[in-house]
Amino acid sequence: MCGIIGIVGRAPVQARLIDSLKRLEYRGYDSAGVAGLVGGRIERRRAAGKIRALEDVLAASPLEATVGVGHTRWATHGAPSERNAHPHRAGRVTLVHNGIIENFAELKAALAAEGRVFESDTDTEVIAHLFDSELATGLAPLAAFKATLDRLTGAYALAALIEGEDGLILGARRGSPLVVGYGDGEMFLGSDALAVGPFTNRICYLEEGDYVAIRAGEAQIFDAGQRLANRPVRLVSAAAALVEKGEYRHFMEKEIHEQPDACQHTLSAYIDPVSGLATAPNGLDLAAFDRIQIVACGTASYAGAIARYQFERLAGLPCDVETASEFRYREPALSSKTLAIAVSQSGETADTLAALRWCKAADLTTAALVNVHESTMAREADVLLPTHAGPEIGVASTKAFTSQLAALTALAVAAAAARGRIDAAEAARLSGLLREVPRLIAQSTRVEAEMRALAPELAKARDVLYLGRGEMFPLALEGALKLKEISYIHAEGYAAGELKHGPIALIDAATPVIVIAPSGPLFEKTMSNMSEVAARGGPIILITDAAGAALAPAGAKVIIGPTCDPLLAPLVYAPPIQLLAYYVAVQKGADVDQPRNLAKSVTVE
Ligand code: AGP
C-alpha cells in the first residue's frame, strides 16, 4: 500500500506535500517523491528511502509549485530505488499510483512497440505512457484519462498532473481508496483521510470506478459510466485528521498505551447503554445463523482465532477461522446460514477483501469488523461491525488487535444470549465482565518496566518460542508475529501441548521460551509443558497472574499480570507481549514503527 497526496493550492505546496507524506509514511516507506506544476511545466523530485531523504533533495532543489502531487511507496513492481520512485512521467503526464496493474506487461509491450521508452520497472509508468498516448490523439484531458482507465486491469488510486493544464489534478479510484478534501479555495486528493487531515476536515470518499477533476475550489466527480456523481461530503473528526506521537518515542508505544481507551470506545458500540448487556450493533441478528466464518490476515486472523473459542464455548456456534489468502482460493463448503465476518484494521487488505467478496457472491450474510469505517470492506459488507481504536499508525498492530478482540468477545456473549445458551443473569454477568476490560488492560501495561528489563537478554536470541493453550495459543502466535516483525528475531508460536510432537527439538539454553499462561482450567497442563522445557535447559519467561506465579517452575522468570476471568485473559495478556516485542526492538535499534519490508496494510495479493 502506498500513500498519495495531491494539492491544488493558493500558496506553495511543497511543505504541505511533505507534511502529508510524513503522515502517510506508515503506508509504505521505501522511496518517495513529489511533482508540481511550475510555470506550465512539471518538475519532479524523488529519493530512495524515507521522506527525510526526499527532504534533503528538496532542500537542495526546492519545488516552487502551488499545484502538486506526492507519493510514498511500498514496492510491488521494481526494486525500491529512485528510478522506481513515484511520480512517474511520460510526455505531458506525471502521476502517482497506489495499487497494482495486472495487465501492465501486455500494455507495456504494446506501448514499446509504438516506440515508447521506459525508464523504470514499475507498472505505474505504463499508466503515464498510456495516458500520454491518449492525450496525443487529441482527446481532452478528462476523456483521455477515462480512456486510459478503461484499458487498465487491476487496482489503482491515481493522482495525475498534465503539462499545459495548470491548476488541474485528475484522480481515479478502483480497488484502492481515494478521498477528495475540500479546503478554503483549495482542493486535495489523498489515499486516506489522514493524508488531507492537516488541511481540511471536509472530505468525500470516491466510489469504486469514480474519477475526478479537482481545480481551485471545486471537484467534478464522475462515476464509471461517465455521469456526474454527487458524493456526500463528510466532516471527519479531529482525531482522524491529526495524529501525533505526543510524549512517546514511537507510535507503537503510544498505541499500546491507548488500548484502554480504544477498547472502551469499541465496547460502547457493543454494550447497550440502557440494559448494559452485550449486543450486536447495526441490527445484526445473531440468532439467525448456524455457523460463523471468519476471514482475516495476520494479527486480525489471530483475533479471529481467539474469538472462535468464545463463539463455540459460550454460544455453541460453530466457527471457522481461515487466513484470507487461503480461503479465497479454495472452495469452502458453507451453509447458507453462515455469517461471514471479515476482520481487518484497515478494511482494505486485498486478500481479506477478496474473501469477503467471495462470501457475498455465495449469498452469505457478510459483516466487516473494521477500524476504518469508510473502507471498502465497510462499504461492501452487509453489516458494519466497527472497532473504535482510532487511527493506528505503527505497522505492528496493537490497539486494533485488542479492539477487535473486545468487539468479538462482546459478539460471542451477545450470540450466547441471542441463541438462548445463557440466561439473563449470566448475560448480565458476562456483560459486566466486558466493562472491566479497559481497567484491566490499563493494569496489564504496568508490567512495562519488567518487559524493558528483559529486553537486553532477549535481544541476543536468534530464535524465540511462544507457547500457549486454549485462547492463549493464538495469542502465542500473535506474540511471535509481533517479535519477528519489529525486531527481526525468528519467533514461532506453538500450542503448548504440541511442543513434544517436534518443536521440543529446538529447545536449548539459547532459545528462550515465552509461556503465556494465566491461571485457569488449563494451567496445570501448561505447567507440564514448561517442565519439559526446563528439563531440557530452555530459559522460560512465564507471563501469568499471581496464582500462576505461585506455581511457576524454579528458574523461570515470572511476569505477573492482573487476575481476571478467563474470558478476558486474551485481551488482558495482549499488552505484555506487545511491550516485550516493543522493548526488544528498541534494544536492537530497529525501526519500530516502520519495520523493513512491511507496510501497514497490504492491498496487493
Ligand atoms: C500486524 O502487526 C501486521 N502488521 C499484519 O499482520 C496485519 O495485521 C495484517 O496485514 C492485516 O491487516 P488488516 O487488519 O488491515 O487487514
User: Is 146 a residue of the active site?
Assistant: no
Cβ 397 vs Cβ 596: under 8 Å: no
Mutate which of 256, 385, 602 for ligand 1? The one with the most ligand atoms within 8 Å of its CB, which is 602
Q: Atom 8, ligand 1: which residue's CA is nearest? A: 299
User: Per-domain residue ranges for the chain?
Assistant: 3-242, 245-435, 446-590
Look at residue 240 and tell me whether its pLDDT is greater than 60: no
| CATH of the domain spanning 245-435 | 3.40.50.10490
Tell me what the mean pLDDT of segment 212-229 comes to.
96
Cβ 67 vs Cβ 17: under 8 Å: no
Catalytic residue among 22, 254, 399, 600: 600
| pLDDT tens digits for range 429-462 | 999 999 999 999 999 999 999 999 999 999 999 9
* Per-residue model confidence (pLDDT) at position 55: 97
Question: What ligand 1 atom has the least distance to the C-alpha of 370?
Answer: 14
* Per-residue model confidence (pLDDT) at position 217: 87
Least confident of 162-176, 230-244, 333-347, 570-584: 230-244
Angle between helices 14-24 and 51-60 (to 10 degrees): 170
Cβ 592 vs Cβ 486: under 8 Å: yes
Residue 299, phi-psi category: left (phi > 0), alpha (psi -120 to 50), beta (remainder): alpha
CATH 3.40.30.10 matches 446-590:
no
The span from the CA of 26 to the CA of 47, in Å, is 17
Catalytic residue among 2, 263, 297, 564: 2
Residues 6+ apart with CB under 8 A from 236: 193, 197, 201, 203
Alpha carbon 56 to its chain's center: 29
Tell me what the mean pLDDT of segment 282-286 comes to.
95
Looking at the chain, how many residues does it have?
Answer: 605
Q: Which amino acid type is present at position 409?
A: T
CATH superfamily of 3-242: Aminohydrolase, N-terminal nucleophile (Ntn) domain (3.60.20.10)
The span from the CA of 402 to the CA of 395, in Å, is 15
* Per-residue model confidence (pLDDT) at position 604: 66
pLDDT band at 331 (very low <50, low <70, confident <90, very high): confident
Mean pLDDT for the chain overall: 93
The span from the CA of 597 to the CA of 599, in Å, is 7
Cβ 588 vs Cβ 335: under 8 Å: no
| pLDDT tens digits for range 483-496 | 999 999 999 999 99
Mutate which of 397, 402, 577 for ligand 1? The one with the most ligand atoms within 8 Å of its CB, which is 397
pLDDT band at 237 (very low <50, low <70, confident <90, very high): low
Question: What share of the chain in percent tops pLDDT 70?
Answer: 99
The span from the CA of 416 to the CA of 128, in Å, is 55
| pLDDT tens digits for range 245-267 | 777 899 999 999 999 989 999 99
Cβ 271 vs Cβ 435: under 8 Å: yes
Query: How many Å lie between the centroid of ligand 1 and the Cα of residue 311?
Result: 22
Give backbone dihedrals phi and psi of 72, rounded to 5 degrees, phi first.
-120, 135
Burial of 554 (0-12, 13-18, 19+ CB in 10 A): exposed
Most distant CA pair in the chain, distance: 81
The span from the CA of 258 to the CA of 587, in Å, is 22
| pLDDT tens digits for range 60-91 | 999 999 999 999 998 877 888 999 999 999 99
* Per-residue model confidence (pLDDT) at position 312: 98
User: Is 600 a residue of the active site?
Assistant: yes
Tell me what the mean pLDDT of segment 80-109 comes to.
94
First to last CA, the chain: 11
The span from the CA of 14 to the CA of 127, in Å, is 24
Mutate which of 192, 252, 299 for ligand 1? The one with the most ligand atoms within 8 Å of its CB, which is 299
- Using alpha carbons, list the distances in angstroms from residue 57 to 48, 186, 568: 10, 26, 50
Beta bridge partners of 204: 180
Which protein residues touch ligand 1 with a CB less than 6 Å away? 297-300, 344-346, 349, 352, 395-397, 485, 601-602
pLDDT band at 273 (very low <50, low <70, confident <90, very high): confident
Query: How many Å lie between the centroid of ligand 1 and the Cα of residue 551?
Result: 35
* Number of neighbouring beta carbons within 10 Å of residue 138: 8
Domains 3-242 and 446-590 share a fold: no
Query: How many Å lie between the centroid of ligand 1 and the Cα of residue 438?
Result: 23
Question: What ligand 1 atom has the least distance to the C-alpha of 481?
Answer: 2
